[in-house]
Chain A
Amino acid sequence: MERTDISNPAYFHQVVDCQWGCPAHTDVPEYIRLIAQGHFTDAYMVNRESNVFPGILGRVCDRPCEPACRRGRTGQKPVAICRLKRVAADHRQDVSDRLPVIPSEKNGKRIALVGAGCASLTVCNDLMPLGYECTVFEALDKPGGLMRSNIPAFRLPAEVLDEELGMIVDMGVDLRLGQRVDSLAALLDEGYDAVFIGSGAPKGKELDLPGRTEGDANIHIGISWLESVAFGHTKEIGKRVLIIGVGNTAMDCCRTSLRLGAADVKVMARKPRDFFKASEWELEDAEEENVEIVINHSPKAFVVEGGKLTGMRFDRMEYTTEDGRIVDQRIVDEVVIPCDDVVLAIGQENAFPWIERDIGLEFDRWDVPVVDRTTFESTRPGVFFGGDAAFGPENIIWAVEHGHQAAISIHKHCQGESMAERLPPTLNLGSRKMGMHEWAYSNDFDPAARRKMEHVPLLERFKALSTEVELGFDAEQTAVEVERCLNCDIQTVFTDDLCIECDACLDICPTQCLTITADGPEEDVETRLKAPRLEPEQPLFASGPLKQTARIMVKDENLCVHCGLCAERCPTAAWDMQKSLLHFPKAIDHGPATCPTSRPLPQRKAG
Chain B
Amino acid sequence: MTYIPKPRIDLPTDRINAIGLRQRDYEGVLSTLCAGCGHDSITAAIVQAFWELAIEPHQVAKLSGIGCSSKTPAYFISGAHGFNSVHGRMPSVATGALAGNRDLTCIAVSGDGDSLSIGFGQFGHVVRRNLNMLYIIENNGVYGLTKGQFSASADPGSKAKKGQVNQMQAIDPVATAIALGGSFAARGFSGDRDQLVPLIKAGVRHRGCAVIDVVSPCVTFNDHEGSTKSYAYTRKMSHKAVEADLVPPAEEITVSYADGDAVRVRLHDGSTVLLRKNDPAYDPTDRSTALQYLEKHRARGEVVTGLMFLDETLPEMHDVFGTTSAPLAETGYEALVPGKEALAKLQKKMR
Contact = CB atoms under 8 A, between A and B. Distances in A.
State the 5 A-B residue pairs at the shortest beta-carbon distance, nearest first: A571-B36, A445-B7, A507-B44, A502-B36, A503-B41
Q: Which of B36, B43, B44 has the most CB of A within 10 A?
A: B36
B36 A565 contact: no
B40 interface: yes
A572 B34 CA distance: 11
Interface string A301-329: 00000000000000000000000000000
Contacts of A445: 7, 9
Interface stretch (B10-18, B91-99, B152-160, B256-264): B10-18
A372 B245 CA distance: 62
Given A502-B41, A571-B36, 9 more contacts: A75-B10, A502-B190, A503-B44, A503-B191, A503-B193, A510-B6, A510-B8, A548-B231, A548-B232
Given A444-B4, A500-B231, A510 B9 contact: yes
B12 to A, nearest CB: 5
B35 interface: yes
A74 to B, nearest CB: 6
Contact of B13 (A444, A532, A563): A532
A501 B191 contact: yes
Given A503-B191, A510-B8, A548-B232, A565 B2 contact: yes
A501 B36 CA distance: 9
B196 to A, nearest CB: 10
Contacts of A506: 44
Interface residues of B, number: 29
Interface in B220-273: 223, 231-232, 235
A569 B219 CA distance: 12
Contact of B36 (A510, A534, A561, A569): A569
Contact of B7 (A444, A507, A531): A444
Contacts of A75: 10-12
B217 interface: yes
Given A531-B13, A559-B11, A570 B36 contact: yes
B7 A510 contact: yes
Interface string B1-31: 0111011111111000000000000000000
Contacts of A564: 4
Contact of B2 (A437, A503, A561): A437
Contacts of A437: 2-4
B161 to A, nearest CB: 15
Contacts of A360: none
Q: Identify whether the interface residues of B are mostly helix, strand, loop, or mixed.
A: loop
A74 B40 contact: no
A471 B217 CA distance: 58
5 contacts: A437-B4, A445-B9, A503-B193, A507-B44, A570-B35
B127 to A, nearest CB: 29
B9 A507 contact: no
Contacts of A508: 2, 6
A501 B231 contact: yes
A339 B36 CA distance: 73
Contact of A563 (B4, B10, B41): B4
Contacts of A561: 7, 9
Interface in A554-607: 559, 561, 563-565, 568-572
B113 interface: no
A175 B342 CA distance: 110
Contacts of A73: 11
A424 interface: no
A431 interface: no
Contacts of B38: 502
A140 interface: no
Nearest to B23: A512
Contacts of A534: 13
Interface in B33-90: 34-38, 40-41, 43-44
A447 B40 contact: no
Contact of A511 (B9, B191, B223): B9
Chain A contact patch, size range: 20 to 34
Given A548-B235, A568-B2, A568-B4, A500 B36 contact: yes
Contacts of B2: 437, 508, 565, 568-569
Q: Which of A500, A531, A534 has the most CB of B within 10 A?
A: A500
Given A443-B4, A565-B4, A74 B11 contact: yes
A549 interface: yes
Nearest to B223: A500
A571 B191 contact: no
A572 B36 contact: yes
Contacts of A531: 13
A502 B191 contact: yes
A508 B13 CA distance: 18
Nearest to A75: B12
B140 to A, nearest CB: 12
B25 to A, nearest CB: 14
A563 B217 contact: no
B219 A507 contact: no
A46 to B, nearest CB: 27
Contacts of A532: 13
Contacts of B9: 74, 445, 447, 510-511, 561
Contact of B235 (A510, A549, A563): A549
B193 A447 contact: no
A504 interface: yes
Contacts of B231: 500-502, 548
A75 B223 CA distance: 41
Nearest to A446: B7
A185 B231 CA distance: 77
Contacts of B43: 507
A510 B231 CA distance: 25
B76 to A, nearest CB: 11
Q: Which of B7, B12, B40, B217 has the most CB of A within 10 A?
A: B7
A136 B231 CA distance: 70
B307 to A, nearest CB: 21
A514 to B, nearest CB: 12
A570 B35 CA distance: 6
Q: Which of A504, A565, A570, A572 has the most CB of B within 10 A?
A: A504
B165 to A, nearest CB: 24
A315 B37 CA distance: 71
B3 A563 contact: no
A532 B219 CA distance: 31
Q: Which of A447, A508, A565, A572 has the most CB of B within 10 A?
A: A508
A571 B13 contact: no
Nearest to B14: A531
A526 to B, nearest CB: 15
Nearest to B236: A548
Interface in A474-520: 500-504, 506-508, 510-511
Given A75-B11, A502-B41, A565 B191 contact: no
A565 B4 CA distance: 8
A563 B191 contact: no
Nearest to A500: B231
A559 B7 CA distance: 14
A534 B11 CA distance: 12
Nearest to B9: A510
B219 A571 contact: yes
A570 B7 CA distance: 17
B283 to A, nearest CB: 30
Contacts of B35: 504, 568-571
Contacts of B191: 501-503
A532 B13 CA distance: 9
A504 B40 contact: yes
A564 B35 CA distance: 13
